[in-house]
């Protein structure tokens, strides 16, 4: 079956613009994660959903970052008033259940460049 | 979460076994060792994980020392497609997030 998909794959935004990044997890996967990966660094956790409930948002860097998963499947990461330091690859991952030890399957990421 | 230490980079010969070390001297009893890799411009890919016993799957073997303070990921026959950044991650049981660190850039050389 299809893996995790993300769109768009590339996004260029002017500083101050709002952006929305989409994640389609593997069908039936309960858990969904967002990570941010700066150039030359490993991915860093942003937030976690179990179905539609956002159980952990401690990694979101500021209140400009907002994530939702209203129907427990597709998720959107929104960044308001983008800044240059938001430039990064945004990775989405999903896992089958919510017990904490399942394999996380990652999408290809969205590369965001803020000018 | 326990911190891991890996080489910044290493080269491996194509067709030979690649042994990737990881130190996790502060690991606690309920923490698992996970390995992921990230090929250029792709998302991370799960390889293997273990608690204290050695593990093997179709991709790799994981050897964990008896004191659990270090581990080695073994790619039995490295190919050029194994060139990637390899991440050793210590993950407490029940913890959903993965703490990646900077990883080990492994280059397989023909």
For chain A, percent of residues with pLDDT exceeding 90:
92
Point out the least confidently predicted range of A1-5, A59-63, A85-89, B15-19: A1-5
- From B16's Cα to the closest Cα of chain A, the distance in A is 27
Per-residue confidence band for A101, with pLDDT thresholds at 50, 70 and 90: confident
Average pLDDT over residues A65-72: 96
Per-residue confidence band for A100, with pLDDT thresholds at 50, 70 and 90: low
User: Which residues in chain A touch residue B104, judged by CB atoms under 8 angstroms apart?
Assistant: none
- Which chain A residue shows the shortest CA-CA distance from B99? A44
pLDDT of residue A45: 95
- Best of A57, A101, A111 to disrupt the B interface by mutation (most B CBs within 10 Å)? A101
- From B72's Cα to the closest Cα of chain A, the distance in A is 20
A47 touches chain B (CB under 8 A): no
Tokens for A86, please give them: 């938001």
Q: Is the pLDDT of residue A1 over 70?
A: no
Scan residues 2-41 of B and list those with Cβ closer than 8 Å to A.
Answer: 32, 41
Q: How far is CA B92 from CA A60, B28, B64, B88, B89, in A?
A: 21, 8, 16, 13, 10
- Do the Cβ atoms of A45 and B93 come within 8 Å? no
- Which chain A residue shows the shortest CA-CA distance from B101? A42
Local confidence pLDDT in tens for the 110 residues of chain B: 668 999 999 999 999 999 999 999 999 988 999 999 999 999 999 999 999 989 999 999 999 999 999 999 999 999 999 999 999 999 987 788 899 999 999 999 99
For chain A, percent of residues with pLDDT exceeding 70:
97
pLDDT of residue B95: 80
Q: List the one residue out of A50, A44, A104, A101 whose CA is nearest residue A72.
A: A50
- From A115's Cα to the closest Cα of chain B, the distance in A is 21
Q: How far is CA A94 from CA A21, A91, A108, in A?
A: 15, 10, 12
pLDDT of residue B2: 63
CB neighbour list of residue A53: distance below 8 Å, 6 or more residues apart: none
Q: What is the pLDDT of residues A27-58, one digit of tens each?
A: 999 999 999 999 999 999 999 999 999 999 99
């Amino acid at each position: 079956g299809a893996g995790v998909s993300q769109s768009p794959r590339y996004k260029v935004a002017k500083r101050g613009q709002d952006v929305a990044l989409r994640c389609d997890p593997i069908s039936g996967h309960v858990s969904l994660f967002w990570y941010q990966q700066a150039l030359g660094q490993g991915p860093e956790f942003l937030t976690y959903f179990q179905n539609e409930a956002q159980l952990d948002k401690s990694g979101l860097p500021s209140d400009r970052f907002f994530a939702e998963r209203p129907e427990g499947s597709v998720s959107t990461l929104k960044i308001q008033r983008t800044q240059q330091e938001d430039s990064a690859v945004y990775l989405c991952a999903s896992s089958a259940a919510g017990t904490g030890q399942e394999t996380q399957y990652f999408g290809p990421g969205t590369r965001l460049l803020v000018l | 979460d326990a911190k891991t230490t890996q080489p910044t980079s290493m080269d491996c010969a194509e067709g030979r076994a690649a042994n990737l070390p990881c130190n996790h001297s502060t690991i606690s009893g309920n923490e698992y060792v996970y390995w992921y890799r990230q090929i250029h411009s792709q998302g991370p890919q799960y390889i293997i994980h273990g608690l204290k016993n050695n593990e093997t799957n179709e991709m790799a073997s994981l050897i964990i020392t008896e004191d659990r303070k270090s581990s080695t990921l073994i790619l039995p026959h490295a190919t050029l497609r194994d060139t990637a950044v390899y991440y050793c991650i210590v993950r407490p049981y029940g913890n959903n997030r993965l703490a990646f660190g900077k990883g080990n850039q492994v280059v397989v050389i023909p």
